[in-house]
Amino acid sequence: MASANDPQLLERVSDTEIRIMRWFNAPAALVFQAWTEPEYLKRWWAPASRGVKVTLCEADVQVGGKYRYVITRSPEEEYAFSGVYREIDRPSRLVYTQTFEAFPDAAAVCTVEFREEQGRTLMTSTEVYPSKEALEGALCSGMEEGMRETFQQLEALLQR
């Protein structure tokens, strides 16, 4: 489990599933809000040290609602992610699909749970991919390093 010394953990659950755990020093309602509202997402969802920024962020946060984020490093280098919200239980649970639009057949189903303990929140995200190859592709893309940085950015945002 993630700890005070290393607040984030990524573990492989199976050939098609990973689990990410991360402690945030904020209440669950605030973490959930930052996870779902575009004005917050724009400020943490792309790894800034890599020169990447969120240039489009749309989210209709309701069951059946869609979202789409575009991150950009340069005009020639854009990456789009989109999906559909399947389940929403504010502020404790969110289930949605996530498609990296360059690889539409590799969509993951993400279940994110927010559990508050003494003013801190443990975020647990379980991502299930359609195949071993789809998961390998995500992991080889630098996903873990990118998540570490973006979650640090989210932590900094939550402290403001």
Q: Is there a domain that residue 80 lies in?
A: no
Phi/psi at 145 (5° precision): -65, -40
What pLDDT shows up at residue 142?
84
Q: Is there a domain that residue 70 lies in?
A: no
Rounded CA Rg of the chain: 15
pLDDT digits (tens, 9 = 90+) for 126-143: 999 999 999 999 999 888
Range of the domain at 107: 8-46+88-158
Nearest alpha-carbon partner for 69 in 150, 135, 134, 145: 150
- Report the alpha-carbon distance of residue 142 to residue 5 in Å, rounded: 22
Q: Which residues share a beta bridge with 127?
A: 18, 110
> Cβ distance 123 to 24 under 8 Å?
yes
Q: Where are the beta strands (DSSP E) in 60-140?
A: 66-74, 77-89, 93-100, 108-117, 120-128
- Here the CATH number for the domain that contains residue 93 is 3.30.530.20
For the CA atoms of 154, 8, 13, 112, the dihedral, rounded to the nearest 10 degrees, stands at -30
pLDDT digits (tens, 9 = 90+) for 1-53: 655 556 678 999 999 999 999 999 999 999 999 999 999 999 999 999 999 99
The one-character DSSP state at 61 is: -
Q: Is there a domain that residue 71 lies in?
A: no
Q: Is there a domain that residue 76 lies in?
A: no
Nearest alpha-carbon partner for 96 in 65, 122, 124, 121: 65
Single pTM value for the model:
0.92
Q: How many domains does the chain have?
A: 1
Average pLDDT, the chain: 94
Q: Is there a domain that residue 62 lies in?
A: no
